[in-house]
Amino acid sequence: MGKRVGMEVSIAASEAVRLANVDVIAAYPITPQTHIVEHLSEFVNNGELDAEFVPVESEHSAMSVCSGSQAVGARSFTCTSSQGLILMSEIVYCTAAMRLPVIMVLANRSLSNPISIWNDHTDVMSIRDCGWIQYFAENGQDVFDHVLISYRVGEDRDVMLPVIVNMDGFSVSHVIEPVELVDQETVDKFLPPYKPDIVLDPAHPVTMGAIVLPSCYTEAKKAQDEAVKASMPTILKGWQEFGDLTGRYYHPIEEYRTEGAEVLLVTMGGIGETAMWAVDQMREKGRPVGLLKMRLWRPFPFEEFRKAASKARMLVVVDRAISYGGPGGPVASELRSALYNEPKRPLVANFIAGLASRDVAPFDFIEMVDRAEGACKKGMEPEYEIYGVRE
């Protein structure tokens, strides 16, 4: 059993990176990710972590350094937010296609413009199709655990893909929570040293990141799509093994009070914990409402999602980003298409809420369920709505 301590979630994330014994850290500070970088540079400075800390001049360079170091066989880490993510996005795509298992923590924050340092999911949704495995953490324990799980899964020879651990900026990253740490011995048991079979080495020259011609590009992309899909069994195995060591078991979709639920709220990230309160309150009044929390975003857990959603009459999906002029929130539109070919499928109502950290309280979730139910009773197909907007 690990030690249970109260600590800021950013510091817990740094602790996990230290325990993973990374070789290279390259990151550029940006709110709200800054505490992670600061803490890691202290570790390196104080000799508590034997790693190369590269204080790069931009996030584009941060991801370039991490890709390069991962390519020579060094376990690498970076973290960023918002504008930093879109600045590095060119290399984010390359890292995945080149199958370099860099691990990145994203302290999710809105994209400009208007400038906002606060939290929502508009940053990560801009790189939705980057080919990384993407987890969404709900609290400090999730973040700590998933940094370790990410290295285990990403570096597995059957996977070899980079992994993003998303956590909400401020509302998760900056809060102090009880976190049960895992001791070094247990981490070492769970996470073997990184030993890739192909590395950049002048003694055995290889080319990474070369051109392919149109005659091969389609096959190259098919190979990448298959690689991300094929990571699923290892992701499940990673959670199972981590659970066996720590007692904490995770799933692609976490279900909360879904027995007999006719309506299911669906959340991703930190607001899931508030939604649990709302579900408790509705259950107390005898309303058959449950909650699905999306922990795994890529590869998309189709099978698990369809199974979890199939018995409900309606899903009330809370998105933290908008596709302007498109189908509403990205999560809801993916859930809809995942259900489209099902013989019996629930209605999907979609609320976009919590932009730039606007509070989503338990009564807001109840209000969303009420409104979606109301629309249904009037025979209207529920569409998307930007919740709580002042008219």
Partner 1 sequence: MKPEQDYKWRDFERGYVITEPGSSREYHTGDWRSQRPIFDKERCIKCGVCWIFCPDCAIRFDAEGYAEMDLDYCKGCGICSRECLPGAITMVDEEG
Give how far the C-alpha of residue 80 lies from the chain's centroid of Cα atoms, to the nearest Å. 13
- Give the range of 4-12, 40-48, 139-147, 222-230 binding partner 1 by CB under 8 A: 222-230
Is the CB of 153 or the CB of 271 nearer to partner 1? 153
- Give the range of 72-80, 128-136, 205-213, 249-257 binding partner 1 by CB under 8 A: 205-213
226 belongs to the binding site for partner 1 (CB under 8 A): yes
In this structure, the number of other CB atoms found within 10 A of the CB of residue 28 comes to: 23
Instruction: Let me know the angle formed at the C-alpha of 277 by 276 and 279, rounded to the nearest 5 degrees.
Output: 65
74 belongs to the binding site for partner 1 (CB under 8 A): no
User: What is the smallest separation between the CB atom of 201 and partner 1, expressed in angstroms?
Assistant: 12
CA-closest candidate to residue 140, choices 174, 103, 117, 187 = 174
**Cα(279)–Cα(365) distance, rounded to whole angstroms?**
8
**Cα(381)–Cα(383) distance, rounded to whole angstroms?**
6
Cβ proximity of 124 and 106 under 8 Å? yes
Cβ proximity of 84 and 33 under 8 Å? yes
Tokens encoding 318? 């809370």
Which of 7, 44, 117, 208 touches partner 1 by CB under 8 A?
Answer: 208
202 belongs to the binding site for partner 1 (CB under 8 A): no
Is the CB of 201 or the CB of 303 nearer to partner 1? 201
203 belongs to the binding site for partner 1 (CB under 8 A): no
Tokens 């801009």 sit on residue: 126
206 belongs to the binding site for partner 1 (CB under 8 A): yes
**Number of residues in the chain:** 391
- Give the range of 26-34, 121-129, 216-224, 273-281 binding partner 1 by CB under 8 A: 216-224
Instruction: Let me know the angle formed at the C-alpha of 79 by 77 and 85, rounded to the nearest 5 degrees.
Output: 125
98 belongs to the binding site for partner 1 (CB under 8 A): yes
Give, to the nearest 10 degrees, the angle between helix 214-229 and helix 82-97.
110
Is the CB of 160 or the CB of 268 nearer to partner 1? 160
Is the CB of 199 or the CB of 245 nearer to partner 1? 199
Which of 57, 185, 210, 377 touches partner 1 by CB under 8 A?
Answer: 210
75 belongs to the binding site for partner 1 (CB under 8 A): no
Which of 72, 115, 176, 212 touches partner 1 by CB under 8 A?
Answer: 212
Is the CB of 196 or the CB of 288 nearer to partner 1? 196
Which of 160, 187, 235, 261 touches partner 1 by CB under 8 A?
Answer: 160
Instruction: Let me know the angle formed at the C-alpha of 78 by 217 and 240, rounded to the nearest 5 degrees.
Output: 80
Q: Which residues, 6+ apart, have CB-to-CB distance to 330 below 8 Å?
A: 121, 125, 128, 319, 321, 323
- Count of positions on this chain that bind partner 1 (CB under 8 A): 22
Tokens 């091969």 sit on residue: 216
Give how far the C-alpha of residue 228 lies from the chain's centroid of Cα atoms, to the nearest Å. 15
Binding mask 100-139 for partner 1 (x = CB under 8 A): x---------------------------------------
Positions touching partner 1 (CB under 8 A) are: 97-100, 160, 198, 205-210, 212-213, 215-216, 219-220, 222-223, 226-227
